[in-house]
Amino acid sequence: MNSSAVQRPFSTDCLDASKSGGERSYDFKPFKFINNMPMPVIGSLPTKPAVPAKRSIPELLAPLDRIASSSSSLVANHGAQFKSGGQTCELPRYLFIGPKGGDDMIRVGIFACIHGDEPEGVHALIQFLSILERKPELATGYCLFVYPVCNPTGFEDRTRHARSGKDLNREFWNESREPEVRLLQSELVAHSFHGIISLHTDDSSQGFYGFAHGATLTKNLIEPALQAAEQFLPRNGSETIDGFRARNGIIRDSYPGMLTAPPKLRPRPFEIILETPQAPPSYLKEAALVAALRMILTHYREFIAYAPNL
């Protein structure tokens, strides 16, 4: 997305990550760099390399691994590996175990960056899990299975598609040979989630919107989620979004092969896709996604609590 990262240590952009359109540094290396180096004269700025540097997933996820190393709620599971072009890659997984609620724990899978050029969802999840670590009560009753980088090679290469050339979000449940998809499918089968939330970025939308599938109650979850996001970003009110019919920023259709629950799973979980517009500053996109996630957890927990009385 943003290939200016290599220049950031020399520019004031590093003081305002919100301008960067999704590229962030969580360990703030640029500041250390500035402190240790004389400021260069403008004429000596290095020229931008033709090919932007690969992004580092360990660097990206370092804040989560730091939290997990001392947390009683967050677990980092780096055991899911796959091969891509002879290289061993990892599909990062995190588990957040909230305080015990009333009955059985509610299992929700949260997926981001299945399109490698949509880092907004990853940054939102890092922020979301950091908030939960400080306020675990927000996740009372939940086991959250978090997959922040579902397309690791695409994220590294800054491309929508995986290094194989495939759009992974068109490959689910159709005998795909893509190893990332097979890994994710086995997670979807193993955990039979009560709810599935996917985070995406849309560079053609001016507003926030979402897809609602699965359980009928999904529509009762997505509306408050979009309202929560609206505190930070306008909603896309168009009648057609991404080629689909939409109402109040909600789409009921889907592309074949999208990441969903296993087709035969009953009862159907709620399935929500949140789409942030790409253009706004990062801090607004992340705040909108985090607010929507929090709202979904709150409303679904309420629904589960009242359901036995319905």
Chain residues that interact with Zn ion, rule: CB under 5 A: 115, 118, 200
CB contact at 8 A, 24 and 62: no
CB contact at 8 A, 303 and 270: no
Q: How many of the other CB atoms lie within 10 Å of CB of 173?
A: 17
Cβ proximity to Zn ion: between 68 and 233 the closer is 233
Q: What is the nearest approach in angstroms of Zn ion to the Cβ of residue 200?
A: 3
Cβ proximity to Zn ion: between 55 and 115 the closer is 115
Q: What is the nearest approach in angstroms of Zn ion to the Cβ of residue 302?
A: 29
Q: Give backbone dihedrals phi and psi of 198, rounded to 5 degrees, phi first.
A: -115, 140
| Residue of 240, 242, 248, 194 whose CA lies nearest to 219 | 248
Q: What is the nearest approach in angstroms of Zn ion to the Cβ of residue 136?
A: 30
Cβ proximity to Zn ion: between 200 and 294 the closer is 200
Q: What is the nearest approach in angstroms of Zn ion to the Cβ of residue 131?
A: 23
51 Cβ contact partners less than 8 Å away, ≥ 6 residues apart: none
Question: Which three-class secondary structure state does DSSP give residue 153?
Answer: helix
Q: What is the nearest approach in angstroms of Zn ion to the Cβ of residue 267?
A: 27
Cβ proximity to Zn ion: between 78 and 160 the closer is 160
Cβ proximity to Zn ion: between 118 and 271 the closer is 118
Cβ proximity to Zn ion: between 24 and 200 the closer is 200
Q: What is the nearest approach in angstroms of Zn ion to the Cβ of residue 275?
A: 7
Q: Sort residue 110 into left (φ over 0), alpha (ψ -120 to 50) or beta.
A: beta
- The CA–CA distances, whole Å, from 77 to 100, 141, 153, 263 equal 21, 21, 18, 26
Q: What is the nearest approach in angstroms of Zn ion to the Cβ of residue 270?
A: 19
261/180 Cα distance (integer angstroms)? 15
CB contact at 8 A, 4 and 13: yes
46 Cβ contact partners less than 8 Å away, ≥ 6 residues apart: 6, 7
Cβ proximity to Zn ion: between 68 and 110 the closer is 110
Cβ proximity to Zn ion: between 23 and 118 the closer is 118
Question: Which three-class secondary structure state does DSSP give residue 147?
Answer: strand
Q: What is the nearest approach in angstroms of Zn ion to the Cβ of residue 154?
A: 10
End-to-end CA distance of the chain: 48
| β-pair partners for 252 | none
